[in-house]
């Protein structure tokens, strides 16, 4: 046999020494395999010798080395093999690949995170399909829980779809209100892209809003303008939503939006309505709403339920029940169906205006329209009675709803249009072939709190209401105990107030 140094381009000699190298690998002698393979390559000058390596023996040797020496030894081998032109990760069979992946997952299970990331980096550099080892986002969530943005960034950058992973990681930090870490990931994403990505920019502004930092949202936006980048409509909307508490700022942003030629969409106008509602600028809200209706008439916009709900809320707070009722007519004119929010806002508009009977009629109309009322709908009416000092009527109405529910007459057509999940406890024949539905009333802790406020200075009655709450399986909250203590104080019941203070302290400790 020729010496290794005399192999040259002799094919039979190259085959022979390739078999020798393969057998060394199969015996688990990976270091000797590398020496033989490197010598063979140097002697033959042929990088194609790697194709003559027996991949089955190589795979067997890797599995044996994993078992005897562990993952670091195999990773070192794979790096050295890659350096001399033997791309071992590509040559491994399924069993060997699975064994390597399992060793990586074991590091993850034991939360040895630094070594896990180093292993994935090494495998990725050698061409191993690292995405199949474990879902990258599952790993990134661990770093989010550990509040470790640096390691999250390092791990995400291993993968080809690192931009998406970084965006998701940024949002994950945002959900936990870890704004500092989310901003760090955003900075890494910006550096990687060599500029600002609009989707990432919108996401980080939304995160700032979620974390209550409208100032940081403004800083990010100003950074866009400083780089002479024109934000898109979605970024403008996110910025205005983050600053919905500041009417002057949002309208300046809206004007800047128009100046840059960025066309506002429905969400833009809805956020402006929300801003006006927060600022209690009812006239401005109405002007915007009229402008939106004109655009809808011209086919530019299509108003949605959020628009109508916001306007109803605006008019409800302004005690403009007629205007709120007109919104309902506008919705029906365009075929839009009122939902729970719009009906609740309309009930509130009547109740805030002191029109309790009108609010009850709206509640009945809501049922006829097929919208299931919830406890807050009833609570709005009870609150209106308490605010107008109609305490006895509040109790009578509550007791009537508890005992009999709320009875509503429906035509056959209305009955047939009710959704399948509409809940009612009784049904009786009505007039003209119609039907009478009895819709149940299920009070909440808030309901009983309202009734306690209707007790005035009668501490015994308030205590009785609280006991009834408990009998119905509800637990008094801090507001319940605060109301009771206030009544005890007003009625000069010192002992009751002390007991209430102790109970309230217990409630605080539990929560």
pLDDT tens per residue, range 148-163: 999 999 999 999 889 9
- C-alpha neighbours within 13 Å on the C-beta side of residue 374: 10
User: Which one has a higher pLDDT value, 119 or 36?
Assistant: 119
Over residues 167-172, mean pLDDT: 95
> What is the pLDDT confidence band of residue 11, given thresholds at 50, 70 and 90?
low
Over residues 112-124, mean pLDDT: 93
Q: What is the pLDDT of residue 3?
A: 47
Q: What is the pLDDT of residue 470?
A: 94
pLDDT digits (tens, 9 = 90+) for 127-141: 888 888 999 999 999
Give the DSSP letter string of 443-488: --HHHHHHHHHTTTT-HHHHHHHHHHHHHTT----HHHHHHHHHHH
Res 31 pLDDT > 80: no
Res 192 pLDDT > 60: yes
Q: Which of 192-206, 375-389, 395-409 has the lowest mean pLDDT?
A: 192-206
- Measured CA to CA, the distance from residue 500 to residue 481 in angstroms comes to 6
Q: What is the pLDDT of residue 183?
A: 96
Res 164 pLDDT > 70: yes
Q: What is the pLDDT of residue 197?
A: 79
Res 94 pLDDT > 70: yes
Q: What is the pLDDT of residue 19?
A: 73
- Measured CA to CA, the distance from residue 348 to residue 338 in angstroms comes to 14
Residue 435, helix vs strand vs coil: strand
Res 503 pLDDT > 60: no
Q: What is the pLDDT of residue 357?
A: 94
What pTM was computed for the model?
0.75
pLDDT digits (tens, 9 = 90+) for 226-266: 888 899 999 999 999 999 999 999 999 999 999 999 999 99
Over residues 326-338, mean pLDDT: 90
Res 1 pLDDT > 60: no
- Residue-averaged pLDDT of the chain: 86
Over residues 108-118, mean pLDDT: 94
Q: What percent of the chain has pLDDT over 90?
A: 53
Q: What is the pLDDT of residue 284?
A: 93
Res 16 pLDDT > 70: no
Give me the long-range contacts of 193-202 (CB less than 8 A, separation at least 24): 193/163, 195/227, 195/229, 196/223, 196/224, 196/227, 196/229, 197/163, 198/231, 198/232, 198/234, 198/235, 199/167, 200/163, 200/166, 200/167, 200/170, 201/231, 201/235, 202/234, 202/235, 202/238
Q: What is the pLDDT of residue 328?
A: 92
Res 9 pLDDT > 70: no
Res 390 pLDDT > 90: yes
Here the tokens at position 281 are: 């600028």
Q: Which of 94-98, 111-115, 456-460, 503-507 has the lowest mean pLDDT?
A: 503-507
309-312-317-318 Cα dihedral, nearest 10 degrees = 150
pLDDT digits (tens, 9 = 90+) for 269-328: 999 999 999 998 999 999 999 999 999 989 988 999 899 988 988 888 888 899 999 999
Over residues 390-414, mean pLDDT: 91
Q: What is the pLDDT of residue 194?
A: 67
Q: What is the pLDDT of residue 76?
A: 86
Over residues 5-22, mean pLDDT: 61
> What is the sign of the dihedral through the CA atoms of 220, 222, 224 and 227?
negative
Most confident of 308-317, 358-367, 485-494: 358-367
Res 48 pLDDT > 70: no
> What is the pLDDT confidence band of residue 17, given thresholds at 50, 70 and 90?
low
User: Which one has a higher pLDDT value, 102 or 47?
Assistant: 102
Q: What is the pLDDT of residue 14?
A: 60
Q: What is the pLDDT of residue 435?
A: 86
Q: What is the pLDDT of residue 504?
A: 54
> What is the pLDDT confidence band of residue 46, given thresholds at 50, 70 and 90?
low
Q: What is the pLDDT of residue 494?
A: 65
- Measured CA to CA, the distance from residue 496 to residue 233 in angstroms comes to 58
Q: What is the pLDDT of residue 210?
A: 95
Q: What is the pLDDT of residue 292?
A: 93
Q: What is the pLDDT of residue 377?
A: 95
Q: Which of 30-39, 143-152, 486-495, 500-509 has the lowest mean pLDDT?
A: 500-509
Give the DSSP letter string of 370-421: TPPP-HHHHHHHHHHHHHTT-HHHHHHHHHHHHHH-EEEEE-HHHHHTS-TT
> What is the pLDDT confidence band of residue 181, given thresholds at 50, 70 and 90?
very high
Res 5 pLDDT > 60: no
- 259: buried, middle or exposed (CB in 10 Å: 19+, 13-18, 0-12)? exposed
Q: Are strands 426-429 and 406-410 parallel, antiparallel or unpaired?
A: unpaired
Q: What is the pLDDT of residue 244?
A: 94
């Amino acid at each position: 046999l020729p010496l290794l140094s005399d192999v040259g381009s002799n094919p039979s000699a190259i085959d022979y020494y390739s078999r020798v190298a393969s057998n060394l690998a199969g015996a688990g002698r990976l270091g000797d395999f590398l020496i033989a393979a490197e010598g063979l390559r140097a002697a033959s000058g042929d990088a194609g010798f790697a194709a003559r390596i027996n991949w089955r023996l190589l795979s067997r040797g890797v599995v044996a080395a994993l078992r005897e020496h562990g993952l670091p030894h195999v990773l070192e081998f794979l790096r050295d093999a890659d350096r001399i032109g033997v791309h071992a990760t590509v040559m491994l069979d399924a069993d060997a690949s699975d064994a390597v992946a399992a060793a990586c997952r074991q590091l993850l299970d034991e939360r040895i995170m630094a070594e896990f990331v180093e292993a994935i980096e090494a495998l990725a550099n050698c061409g191993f399909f690292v995405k199949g080892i474990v879902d990258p986002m599952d790993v990134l969530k661990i770093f989010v829980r550990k509040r470790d943005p640096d390691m999250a960034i390092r791990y995400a950058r291993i993968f080809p779809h690192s931009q998406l992973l970084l965006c998701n990681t940024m949002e994950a930090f945002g959900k936990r209100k870890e704004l500092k870490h989310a901003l760090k990931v955003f900075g890494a994403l910006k550096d990687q892209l060599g500029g600002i990505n609009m989707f990432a920019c919108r996401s980080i502004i939304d995160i700032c809003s979620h974390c209550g930092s409208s100032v940081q949202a403004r800083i990010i936006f100003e950074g866009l303008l400083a780089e002479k980048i024109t934000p898109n409509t979605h970024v403008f909307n996110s910025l205005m939503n983050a600053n919905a508490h500041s009417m002057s700022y949002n309208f300046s942003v809206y004007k800047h939006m128009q100046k840059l030629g960025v066309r506002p969409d429905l969400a833009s106008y809805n956020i402006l309505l929300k801003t006006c509602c927060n600022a209690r600028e009812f006239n401005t809200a109405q002007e915007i709403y009229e402008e939106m209706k004109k655009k809808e008439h011209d086919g530019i916009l299509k108003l949605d339920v959020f628009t109508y709900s916001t306007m109803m809320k605006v008019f409800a707070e302004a005690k403009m029940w007629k205007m709120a009722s007109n919104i309902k007519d506008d919705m029906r004119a365009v075929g839009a169906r009122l939902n729970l929010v719009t009906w609740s806002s309309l009930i509130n508009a009547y109740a805030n205006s002191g029109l309790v009977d009108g609010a009850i009629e709206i509640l009945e109309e809501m049922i006829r329209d097929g919208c299931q009322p919830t406890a807050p709908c009833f609570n709005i009416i009870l609150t209106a009675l308490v605010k107008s000092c109609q305490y006895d009527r509040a109790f009578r109405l509550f007791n009537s709803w508890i005992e009999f529910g709320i009875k509503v007459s429906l035509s056959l057509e209305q009955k047939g249009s009710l959704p399948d999940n509409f809940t009612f406890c009784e049904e009786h024949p009505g007039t003209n072939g119609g039907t009478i539905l009895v819709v149940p009333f299920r009070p909440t802790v808030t309901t009983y709190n309202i009734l306690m406020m209707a007790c005035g200075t009668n501490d015994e009655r308030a205590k009785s209401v609280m006991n009834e709450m408990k009998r119905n399986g509800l637990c008094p909250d801090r507001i319940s105990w605060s109301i009771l203590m206030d009544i005890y104080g007003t009625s000069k019941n010192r002992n009751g107030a002390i007991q209430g203070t102790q109970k309230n302290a217990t409630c605080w400790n539990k929560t």
